[in-house]
Chains A and B, each alone.
Chain A
Amino acid sequence: MTRKGFFAQNPSALIFIAVLALFTLAVTLMSEGLGAGVISTSFVKTLGKTLCLCLVALAMDLIWGYAGILSLGHMAFFALGGYMIGMWLMYARTEEIVVTALAQGGLPASDAEISQGIATQIFGVVGSSDLPAIWAFAHSLPLQFALALAVPGLLALIFGWLAFRSRVTGVYLSILTQAMTLALALYLFQNDSGLRGNNGLSGLQNLPGFGDSSQDLVSIWFFWASALALGMGYLTLTWIVSGKFGSVIRAIRDDEARVRFLGYPVEAYKLFLFTLTALIAALAGVLYYPQAGIINPAELAPIASIYLAVWVAIGGRGRLYGAVIGAASVSLLSSVFTSGRLPNIPLGPVSLNWVDWWLVILGLSFVAVTLFAPKGIGGLFDRFQRIPTPARKGAPLGPDDGSLQEQEAQP
Chain B
Amino acid sequence: MRLTALLVAALCWLAPDLANAQDAAAIIAENRDQIEKPSRQTIGPVIAALAASGDAMADDILTAWAEKRLVVRKSDDALFLATPDGDGFLLTGLDGTPAGTAAKSDLTELKPNAGVRGVIAAALVQFTLSDPSPARRRAALDSIARDPTPETLEPLRASIASETDPELKALKERLERFLTLSFDPDSAARVAAISALGSDTSLDVRAALNPLVATTRVAALSKPDGNVARVLGVGRDLTEVEAYDLLVVAGLAPARLTLEDQRTALVANIVNDTVGGVPVAELDTQAARDRAYTALERAGTVPTAATDDEAKAALAMHGFFEVYVEPDPAVTSAARSALAGIETRVGMMRAADLGLDALSLAAIFFLAAIGLAVTFGVMGVINMAHGEFITMGAYTGFVVQLFVPDYTISLLVALPMAFAVTFAAGVAMERLVIRHLYKRPLETLLATFGISIALQQILKNVFGTQARPLTAPGWLDGALTFNDVVSISYIRIAIFVLALLFLAFFLYLMKRTRLGLEVRAVTQNRTMAASMGINPDRINMLTFGLGSGIAGIAGVAIGLYAKVTSEMGADYIVQSFMTVVVGGVGSVWGTLAGATMIGSLQKVIEFLNPSNTLSAQTYMILFIILFIQVRPRGIIALRGRAAGD
Where the two chains meet, the residues of A that have a C-beta atom closer than 8 Å to any C-beta of B are 68, 70, 105-113, 159, 162-163, 165-168, 170-172, 174-176, 178-180, 182-184, 186-187, 189-190, 192, 302-303, 306, 309-310, 313, 356-357, 359-360, 362-367, 370-371, 374, 399, 401
- Tell me, in angstroms, the Cα distance from A174 to B449 when the chains sit together: 12
B280 in contact with A166 (CB, 8 Å)? no
B244 is an interface residue with CB less than 8 A from chain A:
no
The answer on a CB contact under 8 Å between A306 and B612 is no
- B443 near A374 with CB under 8 A, answer yes
Residues of A contacting B612 in the complex (Cβ-Cβ under 8 angstroms):
190, 192
Among A106, A175, A363, A401, which residue has its beta carbon within 8 angstroms of that of B267?
Answer: A106
Task: Tell me which residues across on chain A come within 8 A of B621, comparing CB atoms.
Answer: 179-180, 182-183, 186
Q: What's the Cα separation between A182 and B618 when bound, in Å?
A: 8
A159 to B621, CA, bound (A): 13
A359-B454, A370-B446, A371-B447 given as contacts; is B441 within 8 A of A166 (CB)? Answer: no
State whether B267 touches A105 (Cβ < 8 A): yes
Q: Taking the nearest CB of chain B, how far is it from the CB of A316, in angstroms?
A: 14
B residues 277-311 near A (Cβ < 8 Å) are 280-281, 283-286, 289
A-B contact pairs, 30 of them (CB 8 A): A70-B442, A105-B263, A108-B284, A110-B284, A110-B285, A110-B286, A111-B285, A113-B263, A168-B632, A170-B441, A172-B581, A174-B382, A175-B382, A179-B577, A180-B621, A183-B617, A186-B621, A187-B615, A192-B612, A306-B453, A309-B449, A310-B449, A357-B457, A359-B454, A359-B456, A362-B453, A363-B452, A363-B455, A370-B450, A371-B447
Compute how far the CA of A306 lies from the CA of B387 in the bound complex, rounded to whole angstroms.
Answer: 15
Are B443 and A370 in contact, with the CB atoms below 8 A? yes
The answer to whether A174 and B445 touch (CB under 8 A), given A108-B280, A110-B284, A180-B625, is yes
Could you tell me if B267 and A360 are in contact, using CB atoms closer than 8 angstroms? no
Q: Which residues of B contact A360 (CB under 8 A)?
A: 453-454, 457-458, 461
B574→A178 contact, CB < 8 A: yes
Interface stretch, picked from B431-439, B469-477, B506-514, is B431-439
Question: Of B259, B281, B436, B617, which contacts A186 at CB under 8 A?
Answer: B617
Q: Is the CB of B622 within 8 A of A189?
A: no
In angstroms, how far is the closest chain A Cβ from the Cβ of B181? 40
Interface centre among A180, A309, A359 (most CB of B within 10 A): A359
Residues of chain A within 8 A (CB-CB) of B457 are 356-357, 359-360, 363
Which B residues are within 8 Å of any A CB, using their own CB?
259, 263, 266-267, 270, 280-281, 283-286, 289, 382, 433, 436-437, 439, 441-443, 445-447, 449-458, 460-461, 527, 574, 577-578, 581, 612, 614-615, 617-618, 621-622, 624-626, 628-629, 632
Nearest to B455 among chain A residues (CB) is: A363
B152 to chain A, nearest CB (A): 42
Within 8 Å CB of B452, what residues of A? 363
What residues on B are CB-neighbors of A356 within 8 Å? Answer: 457, 460-461
Please measure, in the bound complex, the distance between the C-alpha atom of A333 and the C-alpha atom of B386, giving whole angstroms. 28
* B632 partner, pick from A107, A167, A186, A365, beta carbons under 8 A: A167
Q: A190-B612, A363-B450 are in contact. Are A175 and B437 (CB under 8 A)?
A: no
Chain B residues within 8 Å of A113, by CB: 259, 263
Query: Closest Cβ of chain B: how far from A220's Cβ, in Å?
Result: 34
Flag if B451 contacts A363 (CB, 8 Å).
yes
Known: A70-B442, A167-B632, A366-B450. A371 touches B618 (CB 8 A): no
* Interchain CB contact under 8 A, B450 and A310: yes
Alpha-carbon distance between A180 and B284 when the two chains are bound, in angstroms: 46
Asked if residues A190 and B625 are in contact (CB atoms below 8 Å), the reply is no
CA distance A171 to B581 in the complex (A): 11
B residues within 8 A CB of A174?
A: 382, 442, 445
Query: Are the CB atoms of A107 and B625 closer together than 8 Å?
Result: no
Chain A CB count within 10 A is highest, among B270, B280, B457, for: B457
A contact residues around B382 at 8 Å (CB) = 171, 174-175
Q: Is B577 a contact partner of A175 (Cβ separation < 8 A)?
A: yes
Given the interface pairs A106-B267, A359-B457, A371-B447, the reply to whether A170 lies near B442 with Cβ below 8 Å is yes
Instruction: Report chain B residues within 8 Å CB of A180.
Output: 621, 625
Give the distance in Å from the alpha carbon of A254 to the alpha carbon of B461 in the complex. 41
How far apart sit A333 and B75, CA to CA, in the bound complex (Å)?
90
Task: From A107, A178, A362, A401, give the contact of B280 (CB < 8 A).
Answer: A107
CB neighbours (8 Å) of B445 from chain A are: 70, 171, 174
CB distance from A149 to the nearest CB of B (A): 23
Measured CA separation A23–B439 after assembly (Å): 41
A297 closest partner in B (C-beta): B614
Q: Cβ of A366: which chain B residues have Cβ within 8 Å of it?
A: 446-447, 449-450, 453
7 shortest interchain CB distances as A-B pairs? A363-B454, A366-B450, A363-B453, A183-B621, A359-B457, A106-B267, A108-B284
Residues of chain A with a CB closer than 8 A to B458's CB: 360
Shortest Cβ distance from A399 into B: residue: B527
Contact A187 B614 (CB under 8 A): yes
- The answer to whether B625 touches A367 (Cβ under 8 A) is no
Q: Is the CB of A359 within 8 A of B285?
A: no
**Pick from B443, B454, B581, B622: contact of A175, CB under 8 Å:** B581
Give chain A nearest CB distance to B523 CB in angstroms: 14
Candidates B446, B447, B581, B632; contact of A166 at CB < 8 Å: B632
Q: Which residues of B contact A111 (CB under 8 A)?
A: 284-285
A303–B615 Cα gap in the complex (Å)?
A: 20
Q: Chain A residue with minimal CB distance to B266?
A: A107
**Residue on A with the closest CB to B282?**
A108
Give the complex CA separation of A110 and B443 in angstroms.
59
Q: Is the CB of B450 within 8 A of A189?
A: no
The interface residues of chain A lying within 8 Å CB-to-CB of B453 are 303, 306, 359-360, 362-363, 366
Instruction: Select from chain A the residue with minimum beta-carbon distance to B442.
Output: A70
Identify which of A107, A165, A190, A365 contacts B614 (C-beta below 8 A). Answer: A190
A183→B622 contact, CB < 8 A? yes
* Partner among A107, A179, A184, A303 whose Cβ is within 8 Å of the Cβ of B624: A179
Cα A366 to Cα B632 with chains together (Å):
31
Known A183-B625, A363-B451; further 16 A-B contacts with Cβ < 8 A: A107-B283, A111-B284, A113-B259, A166-B628, A178-B574, A186-B617, A190-B612, A356-B460, A359-B457, A360-B461, A362-B453, A365-B450, A366-B449, A367-B433, A370-B437, A370-B446
What is the minimal beta-carbon distance from B591 to any residue of chain A, in angstroms? Answer: 15
State whether A171 touches B446 (Cβ < 8 A): no
Cβ contact within 8 Å between B267 and A309: no
- Cα distance A366–B87 in the bound complex, in angstroms: 76
Q: How far is the CB of A99 from chain B (nearest CB, A)?
A: 10
Min CB distance A277 to B, Å, is 17
Contact status B281-A108, CB under 8 Å: yes
Please report the C-alpha to C-alpha distance between residue A178 and residue B621 in the assembled complex, in whole angstroms: 10
Instruction: Report A179 CB to chain B, min CB distance, Å.
Output: 5
Contact A190 B615 (CB under 8 A): yes
Using CB atoms, name the residue of chain B closest to A401. B439
Contacts of B446 in A (CB 8 A): 70, 306, 309-310, 313, 366, 370
Measured in the bound complex, the distance between the Cα atoms of B629 and A162 in whole Å is 7
A179 touching B574 in the complex, CB below 8 Å, given contacts A106-B267, A370-B450: yes
CB distance from B266 to the nearest CB of A (A): 6
Given A357-B461, A362-B453, verify A371-B437 contact (CB < 8 Å): yes
A365 — nearest CB in chain B belongs to which residue? Answer: B450
Measured between beta carbons, the chain A residues less than 8 angstroms from B577 are 175, 179
Complex Cα gap A279–B614 (Å): 27
Q: Knowing A70-B442, A70-B445, A363-B450 touch, does A168 contact B280 (C-beta < 8 A)?
A: no
Q: How far is the CB of B521 from chain A (nearest CB, A)?
A: 15
Identity of the chain A residue whose Cβ is nearest the Cβ of B580 in the assembled complex: A175
Bound CA span A328–B629, Å: 38
In the complex, how many angstroms separate the beta carbon of A177 from the nearest chain B beta carbon?
A: 10
Contact A176 to B451, CB < 8 A, known contacts A107-B283, A166-B632: no
B504 to chain A, nearest CB (A): 28
- Is A367 touching B527 in the complex (CB atoms < 8 A)? no
Pair A112/B632 contact, Cβ less than 8 Å: no
A109 to B259, CA, bound (A): 12
B-chain residues with CB within 8 Å of residue A171 when the two chains form the complex = 382, 441-442, 445
- Contact A367 to B628, CB < 8 A, known contacts A111-B285, A357-B457: no
